[in-house]
Structure 1
Amino acid sequence: MHRFLNIRMVIVLVITIISIFVFSYLVRSCSKDQLILAKVSNVVVAPYETISFSDSTRGAEEWLWEFGNGDTYHMQKGKYSFTEEGKYQIRLTVNQKAEKYFKIEVKSKEDGKNESPLINIIAPIVALQNELIVFKGDGNAEKWRWEFGESGRVDAREKKTLYAFKQPGLYSVLLSTETTKYPIRHQIEIVAQYQENDSTDALSVIGEDIKTNLQAIVNGRSFNTHYNKVLKRYLCGNANTIVVTNNNKFNDFYSYCQGLKIIGKSNKTIIENVIVDLDEVNTSCISQLTIIQYDLAKR
């Protein structure tokens, strides 16, 4: 009798141990936090330069590689090359559940090596009163001195700077460097803040569309879909377009969108307004986004 009970206890114990192992395996298999063992060869490449990618995740049977530009790949490993400069986020989805992300920057290896010896000012010719305007010096110099014509003195000493005119009017912006004998001049008209503008309605519609896509990123929708929609439709593919947040914080567009994705996981951020500034040369592209946003948790 005692022998029968001992055998029965051993059987129950064995079944219990097996059940625990099976349950643990199923939990690990179904978990969205499964460890992804994947890699991408380079994080900075030139256009048409080949990158290699591969995955060695245990138990992986299905792969979906998304390259951030609409292209996809469904094999365990392979090679790929980007044709256009910019910043991309590669997403790997394993077994339709677990995900891993890789950031890739595509840029020409000759960037910054062939600057012109002539100094120029890159800035709009018309802007609004109290609007933060980007002024950029173009050319080969080390010392930059900006005079915007309101204060009667040097206002900034960086190659790229921001300035907002307090009063409407016509201003001559002066830029001096150690390589120029006389200052470079740029004339800009500052329009009263509430003056009617024929393009206001069109720009408002664009701002609303960008606002909708940014809010979608905050809400956890597909990053690549909404990021690339704004990037290609409005920014002419320039991921370094400047974003001014709440009039005092500055980012490139890619970094700003990555920040939205991260904070969207922890609190509710509301994109309240998006104001667009068109490029002076290519008026079909946006040169700056001014964004007003707030966190519900802080209100």
Structure 2
Amino acid sequence: MKTIRLILIILFIVLTTGFSIWAIQSVFPRRSVLARIGAIAIPVNKPFSFVDSTRMASSWLWLFGDGSSAVVRHGFHSYKRAGRYLIKLIVDNELTQMMEINVFDEPTVVADNDVITIDGPLSGFQGEYLLFTAQGHDTHWRWNMGEGPGVDSREAMVMHKYDHPGTYNIRLMSENSKYPALFVLKILPPYTEQDSTDAIGMLDLVNRDIRVRLQRIANGKDFNENYYYLVNKYFCKDEHVPVTIDGKKINDFFSYCMGLRLDAGVVIGSVTSDRRAVADTASCVMHLHVKQH
């Protein structure tokens, strides 16, 4: 009799324990790591962002494959040597995720010291701050922004706004250049999101709207509002659209926007997009090209 009672007690404990484990797993499903790195290909010594969004996480160990590590939820890292690195993240000493990154040496560009150019948007809106960058092997610059005679700036990068619509001829000279760099800029009346057509066409309006929203993210404005506005309106809800930054680095759209959120002081210079028609009056961005500083 005692033996039967003992067997029943053991059976009851086993069944109760199994049910408890099943109930806990049903209410609290097994966690998975949700982590991203800010780039999949970067040049040597270029910092990239890393961030983990795993729910209820309390400890992190990032192993970057070059002998260095970090114990924070998010941060920045750079590599001193080119190569492929396998990044391992351990969350709460039990959950892991592996990510790969390609690090390359930037090619050395040999150019004629006399040749200088201007990098900047071809159009803008009245009252909008626009970024222009001097390109060339020099350190002394003289900008004329087309609003009158004289030198408007002597810096390599110029942030400028125009108070009146029109066409402006920008001139850039350097100490060693034989000829000035010339740049034609068109300034349109103030932009409103309700605009449907204008002189530069719908595509330029789309690119400009994307640039405005990306700059808001970079400036620390509401991330979800601006990010999902872009994803839903222009990317057909695809968060993995590739983004090319400055013609070199390629990232997916979500990781790129997360990087903007974490990297302070980024200025979006210009945006262009490759689009695919999905209906008579609709299209989706398939690839985004961004120039930033």
TM class by shorter chain equals: 0.3 to 0.5
TM-score (ref. length: structure 1): 0.46
